[in-house]
């Protein structure tokens, strides 16, 4: 049973990493377009810096958006949120990654030191 949960966790992490990589590729594309002087529709917001991705805390009347460092993909508390998102929304999310939690819960996780166990 533990082995099966480990496999599911690895699958979840791979899918999240793929989504983040896609966002980063869009970011790089946007930067090269800006350098070349071409203006095209940009799918990635300007405030998403390299090494970050957008997350939306949605268990609230007004969802709150956060920019999260890639390093949080190894944070156990953040991974638990991703697992809850998988259970609630599946893997078909497009755009900003939505997680089913209160903004305060996500803020608390993001204030922890990266790599620190919860």
pLDDT at 103: 93
- What is the value of pTM for the model shown? 0.60
Distances (CA, A) of 60 to 27, 63, 64, 65, 99: 29, 6, 8, 12, 11
Other beta carbons less than 10 A from residue 100's beta carbon: 14
User: pLDDT tens digits, residue range 10-40?
Assistant: 777 777 777 776 666 665 555 555 555 454 4
Sheet holding 52-57: strands in order across? 64-69, 52-57, 97-99
- Tracing tokens 């082995």 back to the chain, one arrives at 3
């Amino acid at each position: 049973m533990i082995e099966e949960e480990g496999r599911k966790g690895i699958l979840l992490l791979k899918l999240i990493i793929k989504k983040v990589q896609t966002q980063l590729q869009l970011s790089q594309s946007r930067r090269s377009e800006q350098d070349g002087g071409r203006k095209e529709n940009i799918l990635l917001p300007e405030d998403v810096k390299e090494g970050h991705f957008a997350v939306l805390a949605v268990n609230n009347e007004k969802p709150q958006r956060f920019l999260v460092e890639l390093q949080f993909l190894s944070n156990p508390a953040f991974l638990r949120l991703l697992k809850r998102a998988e259970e609630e929304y599946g893997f078909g999310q497009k755009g900003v990654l939505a997680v089913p939690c209160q903004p305060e819960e996500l803020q608390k996780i993001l204030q922890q030191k990266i790599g620190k166990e919860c």
